[in-house]
């Protein structure tokens, strides 16, 4: 048991990239810990002292071993935000089996390979339309506002049967809810606004169902009693969150990284089939979720020679695992031809792996190829060191990306 004095000597987590460092590189402390102490204690804002995992192997164990719980209602779960999320807002990603599996199955079929592949023509049409709008906006233009964010908004909006300014407001709220620099009241207000938006959206589908995912959840599961109203709202929220901001961030970050690497960009323009593997490498290299994901040890578990007692909180640090040199040689180098890039944990791993990962992959492949091959003269309009990276957020991103062509 850690005493209060010992806890104050532990490093404060999360670690953040410094403004003077390359924003593409995770905080150097991750690499030091991965080499010296891949399983170690850290201190969160609330004084709790969970274990931080930084090695690929120990992270994989925590993501797959049923002795580690995802239950968000467990008070030992590491809390990255400064307010309590009500238990009834937790989605299936914050539950354990069998309830996790029961709720996940209700949406998983919509994001399986076959239906997602069938969406390729529609996604391609959306990307080309947004490329035209970007050009019409005039050079220079903000790639984030005119391309990176509209594409996943339109795609997930089509899946859920929702469009219009409401999604833009939802995106702004989701960004605020993940910004630790805000007060607990401000972050909580953003969460409440998101819940209210989704609740109203579900009410509209009850009144007038359509041919979309929310309507199917209402008709097939809520009306049969298999989904409560709050479970429906939580399920739709996780689909929206998984299908919107992180994908938009990756479009902007991936574009920036490739524009800074002319040789690899030239290779992809000459061999567009390479965009599929390039997306995997970009996902590994960037790892949008900066702080990792939480677990709780249900039993005593030994990881890399360290005993993690039952009841301990655990943080699986995804960026550190994705830069592990034991798995990815020369891990700090972006290599769009890396043969094992898909071993990354950008979508998590195991039974809780992101339900929308197949859709995200397809969107990123099409969006990046359409943009980078469609605008051969594309170039940043702002020096790299002046770009506005969201370094303080739990999700890495760019607030804007001025470009010319």
At 294-341, the pLDDT tens digits run 999 999 999 999 999 999 999 999 999 999 999 999 999 999 999 999
Radius of gyration from C-alpha coordinates of the chain = 21
Which pLDDT value is given to residue 191? Answer: 86
Question: Torsion angle of alpha carbons 289, 19, 333, 293, nearest 10°?
Answer: -20
Cα angle: 82, vertex 84, 85; to 5 degrees? 120
Structure tokens at 86: 């009500």
Q: Which uninterrupted H or E stretch holds 103?
A: helix 99-108
Name, in order, each residue with C-beta under 8 angstroms of 165's C-beta and a sequence gap of 6 or more.
none
Which pLDDT value is given to residue 356? Answer: 94
Query: Tell me, what CATH number does 260's domain have?
Result: 1.10.630.10
Structure tokens at 36: 């010296």
Which pLDDT value is given to residue 5? Answer: 47
Which pLDDT value is given to residue 175? Answer: 79
- Tens of each residue's pLDDT in the chain, 405 residues: 444 445 668 999 999 877 677 889 999 999 999 999 999 999 999 999 999 999 999 999 999 999 999 999 899 999 987 776 665 566 898 999 999 999 999 999 999 999 999 999 999 999 999 999 999 999 999 999 999 999 999 999 999 998 766 787 887 888 787 777 788 888 888 888 989 999 999 999 999 999 999 999 999 999 999 999 999 999 998 898 887 889 999 999 999 999 999 999 999 999 999 999 999 999 999 999 999 999 999 999 999 999 999 999 999 999 999 999 999 999 999 999 999 999 999 999 999 999 999 999 999 999 999 999 999 999 999 999 999 999 888 889 999 999 999
Residue 79 domain boundaries: 4-404
Which pLDDT value is given to residue 17? Answer: 79
At 45-93, the pLDDT tens digits run 999 999 999 999 999 999 999 999 999 989 999 998 777 666 556 689 8
Confirm if 404 and 259 have CB atoms less than 8 A apart.
no
d(C-alpha 302, C-alpha 305), whole Å: 6
Which pLDDT value is given to residue 173? Answer: 85
Burial 238-272 (b: 16+ CB within 10 A, else e): bbbbbbbbbbbbbbbbbbbbbbebeebbeebeeee
Which pLDDT value is given to residue 150? Answer: 93
d(C-alpha 143, C-alpha 362), whole Å: 19
Domain count, the chain: 1
């Amino acid at each position: 048991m850690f005493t209060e004095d010992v806890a104050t000597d532990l490093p404060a987590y999360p670690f953040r990239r410094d403004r003077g460092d390359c924003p593409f590189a995770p905080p150097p402390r991750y690499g030091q810990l991965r080499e010296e102490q891949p399983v170690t204690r850290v201190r969160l804002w609330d004084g709790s002292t969970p274990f931080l995992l930084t090695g690929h192997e120990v992270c994989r164990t925590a993501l797959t071993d049923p002795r580690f719980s995802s239950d968000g209602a467990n008070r030992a779960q590491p809390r990255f935000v400064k307010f309590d999320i009500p238990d009834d807002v937790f989605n299936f990603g914050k539950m354990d089996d069998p309830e996790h599996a029961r709720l996940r199955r209700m949406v998983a079929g919509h994001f399986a390979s076959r239906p997602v592949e069938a969406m390729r023509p529609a996604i391609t049409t959306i990307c080309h339309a947004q490329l035209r709008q970007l050009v019409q906006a005039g050079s220079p233009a903000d790639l984030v506002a005119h391309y990176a964010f509209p594409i996943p908004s339109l795609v997930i909006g089509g899946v859920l049967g929702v469009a219009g300014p409401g999604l833009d407001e939802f995106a702004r709220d989701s960004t605020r809810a993940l910004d630790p620099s805000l007060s607990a009241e401000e972050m909580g207000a953003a969460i409440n606004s998101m819940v209210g938006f989704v609740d109203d959206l579900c009410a509209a589908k009850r009144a007038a169902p359509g041919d979309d995912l929310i309507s199917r959840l209402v008709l097939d599961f809520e009306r049969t009693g298999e989904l409560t109203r709050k479970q429906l709202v939580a399920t739709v929220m996780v689909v929206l969150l998984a299908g919107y901001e992180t994908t938009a961030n990756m479009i902007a970050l991936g574009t920036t990284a490739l524009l800074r690497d002319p040789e690899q960009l030239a290779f992809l323009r000459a061999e567009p089939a390479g965009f599929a593997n390039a997306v995997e490498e970009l996902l590994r290299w960037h790892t949008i979720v900066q702080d990792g994901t939480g677990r709780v040890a249900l039993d005593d578990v030994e990881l890399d020679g360290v005993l993690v007692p039952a009841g301990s909180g655990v943080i699986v640090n995804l960026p550190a695992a994705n830069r592990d040199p034991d798995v990815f040689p020369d891990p700090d180098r972006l290599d769009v031809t890396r043969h094992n890039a898909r071993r990354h944990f950008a979508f998590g791993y195991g039974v809780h792996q992101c339900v929308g990962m197949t859709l995200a992959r397809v969107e990123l492949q099409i969006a990046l190829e359409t943009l980078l091959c469609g605008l051969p003269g594309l170039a940043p309009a702002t020096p790299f060191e002046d770009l506005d990276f969201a370094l303080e957020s739990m999700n890495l991103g760019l607030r804007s990306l001025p470009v010319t062509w």
